[in-house]
Structure 1
């Protein structure tokens, strides 16, 4: 009984609280773990299980055990999860940007569906890219890498000791600018061939005025875009894998 009282002392309670806050922030913003289709009760159970499992590896931070200091430490842990989640969500945003451009070219802009990961309305091609990317991420064990990052963060970064440095903001600015560039690069094969099809249809309408673009042109354009999409989908997912692994490596900036 005495050992149980000592285990439930102030130091251990604060340590578990900060560890639970770090895991909550990471699981709330990491891709796949933050999926809207996963019930909140399941997410909470996962965080609680991970907190109990990783509790022996956590160390007590060197802070003043006052209400203000503990509150700042909790905010620091939530900020760590938020920024780490942004690092990886930018990679998925590249696919969403490419999907928006492809949907616009194919005429699927109005065909929006609910994205199960973010819970927002997205073009159907963007949602398709996101779902395929999640499957690819699970195939190369991207979720295991995120869990390993959580474990390594306990060894390198003390609880409540995170503070965003200039390297984080520099990387985020660079990643956001690359998001638009890579989004255009991934959609360029489909966009380029669709523009070429528009030129061909324009020439046909000049030579054959009876050619009905709305009846014949749009189905052909969608068919060509789907064929090209199937042909380049593997390459798109390989680029996604490369960018995701690079983002995982860049997470070490958070420990500097």
Structure 2
């Protein structure tokens, strides 16, 4: 194929749709959309992948009207948005669990600006999300995301991908169960905090000289840390399970 052939309108339109799809995925997908990576690097990586994957894509005919052109662009943007939402919900579960843990441990005021979301969140939430991100790298979840992008280029038509019932049902269910899942992840520490409050209340009734502020809170924080270290591996297993479930739904969406 000559270079002049690649400059035909159909080829330019196909290349543009592919570049928009990959760029949108890099904007919304976890790990690849991290704020520590500069936008120039993300754009360069998306352009490089577009050059590599373009030979695998069938040529899409140029639309006859501007409305069809913008509809195709919106379809590609919506694909990245929906896929990113499905995976970011998994991270949101652990961010919410971190907020609950920080509240019961008395660390609610220990908040800093999250560089990823640009909002103030407790340090416990940031620790859990960063740990989940490292676990994602450990079981090659970032490669799964990248291979899903490649499979989407091969299987899903450019400018014609529509929302499936399975993906819509998954997103609605995941949003509905986000808080319940986050609470269940943080439940061991919440239960220990409730139990310690009951015990300290009984001690203060039987021993009025017991100073809760001096003795009770350090003991409560220490016990919470011990339980947290004991259940952290189980938390990450839940993260892996939920991430793989989301990837399975996305794979069925594009027909792989």
TM-score tier after normalising by the smaller chain length? over 0.9
- Cα distance in 1 for partners of 2:64, 2:122 equals 49
Q: Which range moves more in the overlay, 237-246 or 107-116?
A: 107-116
- Cα distance in 1 for partners of 2:24, 2:119 equals 21
The residue aligned with 1:116 is 115
- Cα distance in 2 for partners of 1:136, 1:230 equals 15
Q: TM-score, normalised by structure 2?
A: 0.95
Aligned pairs for 1:23-42 within 5 A: 23-42=22-41
The residue aligned with 1:132 is 131
- Cα distance in 1 for partners of 2:164, 2:137 equals 31
- Cα distance in 1 for partners of 2:56, 2:174 equals 32
Maintained 8 Å contact 2:167/2:250: no
Query: CA deviation digits over 1:28-50, x for unaligned, max 9?
Result: 10000011111111111111111
The residue aligned with 2:214 is 215
Runs of 4 or more, structure 1, over 3 Å off, are: none
Maintained 8 Å contact 1:91/1:243: yes
- Cα distance in 1 for partners of 2:25, 2:111 equals 29
Q: CA deviation at 1:155?
A: 1.7
Q: TM-score, normalised by structure 1?
A: 0.95
Query: CA deviation digits over 1:211-238, x for unaligned, max 9?
Result: 1111221111111111110110011001
Maintained 8 Å contact 1:115/1:121: yes
Maintained 8 Å contact 1:63/1:69: no
Q: CA deviation at 1:63?
A: 5.8
1:4 and 2:11 matched: no
The residue aligned with 2:82 is 83
- Cα distance in 1 for partners of 2:244, 2:166 equals 19
Aligned-partner SS, 2:158: coil
The residue aligned with 1:235 is 234
Count of residues paired in the alignment: 255
- Cα distance in 2 for partners of 1:7, 1:166 equals 37
Q: Which range moves more in the overlay, 55-64 or 146-155?
A: 55-64
* 5+ residue gaps, structure 2: none
- Cα distance in 1 for partners of 2:74, 2:214 equals 57
- Cα distance in 2 for partners of 1:8, 1:64 equals 16
The residue aligned with 2:173 is 174
The residue aligned with 2:141 is 142
Q: CA deviation at 1:253?
A: 4.2
Q: CA deviation at 1:166?
A: 3.2
* 5+ residue gaps, structure 1: none
The residue aligned with 1:225 is 224
Aligned-partner SS, 1:210: coil
- Cα distance in 1 for partners of 2:49, 2:243 equals 24
Query: CA deviation digits over 1:48-83, x for unaligned, max 9?
Result: 111111111112235624322121111110000000
- Cα distance in 2 for partners of 1:237, 1:114 equals 24
- Cα distance in 1 for partners of 2:249, 2:120 equals 30
The residue aligned with 2:155 is 156
Q: CA deviation at 1:24?
A: 1.1
Query: CA deviation digits over 1:94-116, x for unaligned, max 9?
Result: 11111111011001111112223
